[in-house]
Structure 1
Amino acid sequence: MKHSKSKRQFTLGMTSLERRGLFSLAGIYSLRMLGLFLILPVFSLYAHDLQGATPTLIGLALGAYGITQALLQIPFGLLSDRIGRKPVITAGLILFALGSMIAAMADTITGVIIGRALQGTGAIAAAVMALVADLTREEQRTKAMALIGLSIGMSFAIALAVGPVLNQWIGVPGLFWTTAVLAILGIGVLHLGVPHVTAPRHHLDVEPAPQQFLRVLGDSQLMRLALGIFILHLLLTASFVVLPISLRDESGLAPNFHGYVYLPVLITSILAMVPFIILAEKKRRMKEVFIGAVAILGLAELAWRYFHPSLAGTIAALWLFFTAFNLLEATLPSLVSKQSPAGSKGTAMGVYSTCQFLGAFVGGWAGGAVYEHFGLEGTFTFCAGAAALWLFFAATMRPPQYLRSQILSIGKVEPDEAKLLAKRLTEIPGVADAVVVAEEGVAYLKVDDERLDKAALTEINPTNRDQPIAVK
């Protein structure tokens, strides 16, 4: 009852159609991510028995989905603009299910690598986000994207806790079969639960635009953040190549009890990060909190390096790692949103997500290779070095401007009129940047809430004007 009430409060202001579409798409996204994450805490323990397995190939199998996901997510998103969202998402879920089945039936490490890579070709993230944008009004979109993000975080926590338990009952092949079933269920939810969109539009706030890639790639501050998410997921995947082995062989914890460690650590680490989120956003201490979290990641890796034979030391380091990890997972997208120019957020997030999946791929491969040649201590040292590299770039980034993205529905305008409106919007106190896209009928703004003249913004009221806009 309380859960249902919180859902209604979160979606206050949304229509029933928006809520139906949003919760259905959040379910699809979370089911898919649950499938990807389920094997993370158990795969390295299982894969040593596969024919041809080496630590390098085990790490490659763990991260293989990342390379295909990185290569295809932006093209699939753009393709969904042309042929529709549901066909692209359906095809992606089918590919994901096929990859899961191949991995489930494989008795060689090569077969699992092929299956994992095929899982990654089901790159539906951009298409799902675009469909969310199609189904929600501009003023509800921030809440919609936040719910999608929340569903991903919940999937990750559930996977780490449930994966070891399910592995005890059905084994890793059973986990792969479970992911295939989840993907097929996702197809059913897509076609039965998600409303039909007759005319999908391109949304610059959630989708990349090819003409903006050079601008985003040339922005050194955005590239620092892209490097950050790359290293964050490199650390996650590389650490989980060896962490389950360390817990079993060094700390003496049986694999079926690993989930009982991960779940309370995750829950308490999420609670611990909340004050730092408030400090970063409300008190405008984002850079200091950000740098501190990166430093904590490095300290956690060093703690694993030196204290991994101790179960208490391993759990303490795990708590430090996930507190910093969850904090950075929450703040990095916020920083990308603040840093990206008006109308370029979708492109910036597309580059960001691509780097995230590349990080998972490189982390799995490199983590396995380092473990093969240098053992547990070498792998944790490698991860600490990667965190130190990130710390350097984080320390040299500019303090972020505390700007919020805002979208105004302006209705139909001519291109010349759109330019005049953009100029007039930027003259309003607190509006740092404005881009008006005539074909979308929306204006993308970057605003400082502490300085924003809301009355002046309301006065423009572009959707109800009868006269052309005049520049004052």
Structure 2
Amino acid sequence: MNSLERRSTFALSSIFALRMLGLFMIIPVFAVAGQTYQGATPALLGLAVGIYGLSQACLQIPFSLWADRFSRKPLIIIGLALFAIGGAIAALSSSIYGVIIGRAIAGSGAVSAVVMALLSDVTREEQRSKAMAFMGMSIGLSFVVAFSLGPWLTSKVGISGLFWVTTLMGTLAMLMLLLVPKVKRHYRVAPQGYLAQLKQVLAMADLNRLHLSIFMLHLLLTAMFIFIPSQLIKYAGIPLAHHSWVYLPLLLISLFVAFPSIIIAEKYRKMRGIFITAVIAIVFGLAIMALGFSHKYILLLGLGLFFVAFNVMEALLPSWLSKAAPIQSKSTAMGVNSSAQFLGAFCGGMIGGQLLSWQHIAWGWGFLAILALIWLLITFTLQQPRYLSSLVVSLPDTKEITEWTSVLLAIHGIEEVVVMPEKQVAYLKLDKQQLNEQTRQQLSQLINQQLAI
């Protein structure tokens, strides 16, 4: 990656991680610490935790539809501001109802898809998977850090102080956005009406398989993290306070697997093969835990296999989605995908709670393994994504940038031009297989350099 891509990837991954850190820190402590609020009941405590995901699932698609028509950065600022304001409202509340309102407002800043779409704007196609992998790893790390930090912080500043930390995270995330350059997108095909654009995205079979994949991935993850802690205590002899020392090494191991997988998937165009292999690994990981959950090292082996495969999938899915989605509807497709992710987490929480009530633990793991097997069968028909190439060019010495981009987009094979006026550069996203000798020469003249593709 070049310096601009590295800086933008760091900033946008930090925005994602800071939001997730603020969210995850509350989860392991709220069921206990939240009992001090006026009017608190188990049902209302659950609603206070879950309503964030519900707001996210409902508003991801509207935010993403707007992001395909307007500048993405102001929308991200609005979303982060809502996240920070919601945290402040929860921090100032003395009743459970105030916390619920604050959490709902925080969740209404549903800009996950917009952040991913902006990351795809400022990275070249060839570097996209690396950037998405870095973002996926930052989310995984925030998960581990949050579950370790949340209980400690609560003991120091209380539950209201934890909500103030959420507000601080949202404010820091807004500052990180200053590191990302301003971009202006130009498409070959103009965005359609909102409803038509959403229908187009929902009618694409491969996109729906990717939406199902993110749904299943987070359903299984959430169900597993509800189901497994008691087993780590009982069968592996690991106290709850030390569970982060199980997850952190697994995250580090997954780094050594995920990044080579991403490089192979992108460089050798093996994305489908890596994807299917990761789903198979999830099936095997769950099956191993079903067969050997009562043995410490078999349980950890199954958990490790699942965790590594999860992180590979977490990095691959956004990259594949950005390739498969129509360029003019990229944010919309990511919005649908993010909604599926949060719905998956919600369903996973419901299923995980039910599994805890089952007397036979093996049946619980077996049930999750069967769900993963059904997922594998559905996604096995996925087609290899379309691979575009990127070209970094300097902007011409003219003020008619719009006219220049229009001439570029008239060339068959040029799909999108992303202009960064502050840096005086543009990214051309193209299908080099559609270029012939004449269009190559025409493109060389327009960008004032010889093509090396």
User: Which bin holds the TM-score, normalised by the shorter protein?
Assistant: 0.7 to 0.9
**Within 2, Cα distance between the matches of 1:384 and 1:285?**
25
**Within 2, Cα distance between the matches of 1:236 and 1:455?**
51
**1:5 maps to what in 2?**
none
Aligned to 2:402, the other structure's residue is in SS state coil
Pairwise CA distance, 1:344: 3.8
**Within 1, Cα distance between the matches of 2:278 and 2:409?**
38
**Within 1, Cα distance between the matches of 2:279 and 2:132?**
25
Pairwise CA distance, 1:149: 5.6
**2:237 maps to what in 1?**
252
**1:167 maps to what in 2?**
151
* 5+ residue gaps, structure 2: 449-453
Pairwise CA distance, 1:228: 0.7
**2:442 maps to what in 1?**
459
**Within 1, Cα distance between the matches of 2:236 and 2:45?**
21
Q: 2:59 aligns with which of 65, 72, 81?
A: 72
Cα separation, partners in 2 of 1:234 and 1:82, compared to 1, 3 Å = same
Deviations 1:216-242 (A, max 9, x none): 211111111111111111111111122
Aligned residue pairs: how many? 433
2:202, 2:208 within 8 Å by CA — same for their partners in 1? yes
**Within 2, Cα distance between the matches of 1:239 and 1:66?**
18
**Within 2, Cα distance between the matches of 1:405 and 1:321?**
34
**Within 2, Cα distance between the matches of 1:77 and 1:464?**
31
Q: 1:323 aligns with which of 288, 295, 308?
A: 308
State the TM-score, normalizing by the size of structure 2: 0.75
**Within 1, Cα distance between the matches of 2:371 and 2:22?**
27
2:12 equivalent to 1:32? no
**1:53 maps to what in 2?**
42
Q: 2:210 aligns with which of 225, 228, 238?
A: 225
**Within 1, Cα distance between the matches of 2:274 and 2:176?**
43
Write out aligned runs for 1:37-186 (5 A).
37-39=24-26, 42=28, 46=32, 52-53=41-42, 63-78=50-65, 88-97=75-84, 99-100=86-87, 116-128=103-115, 147=131, 150-161=134-145, 163-164=147-148, 166-168=150-152, 170=154, 174=158, 177-178=161-162, 180-186=164-170
**Within 1, Cα distance between the matches of 2:248 and 2:317?**
23
Deviations 1:82-118 (A, max 9, x none): 8976665454334434544676789999887666544
2:129, 2:319 within 8 Å by CA — same for their partners in 1? no
**1:364 maps to what in 2?**
349
1:167, 1:174 within 8 Å by CA — same for their partners in 2? no
Aligned to 1:425, the other structure's residue is in SS state coil
Cα separation, partners in 2 of 1:218 and 1:405, compared to 1, 3 Å = farther
**Within 2, Cα distance between the matches of 1:463 and 1:75?**
37
2:259 equivalent to 1:289? no
1:69, 1:121 within 8 Å by CA — same for their partners in 2? yes
**1:348 maps to what in 2?**
333
**2:200 maps to what in 1?**
215
Pairwise CA distance, 1:52: 4.1
Write out aligned runs for 1:363-442 (5 A).
363-372=348-357, 376-404=361-389, 411-413=401-403, 422=409, 424-426=411-413, 434=415
Deviations 1:28-87 (A, max 9, x none): 3321122223356x3598589796437xx8877665433211221332355578897666
Cα separation, partners in 2 of 1:328 and 1:373, compared to 1, 3 Å = same
**Within 2, Cα distance between the matches of 1:463 and 1:338?**
26
2:178 equivalent to 1:194? yes
Cα separation, partners in 2 of 1:361 and 1:86, compared to 1, 3 Å = same
Q: Which amino acid aligns with 1:339?
A: A
Deviations 1:2-24 (A, max 9, x none): xxxxxxxx443x3xxx9877655
Q: Which amino acid aligns with 2:174?
A: L
Cα separation, partners in 2 of 1:112 and 1:237, compared to 1, 3 Å = farther
**Within 2, Cα distance between the matches of 1:367 and 1:454?**
58
**2:451 maps to what in 1?**
none
2:125, 2:389 within 8 Å by CA — same for their partners in 1? no
**2:320 maps to what in 1?**
335
Aligned to 2:403, the other structure's residue is in SS state coil
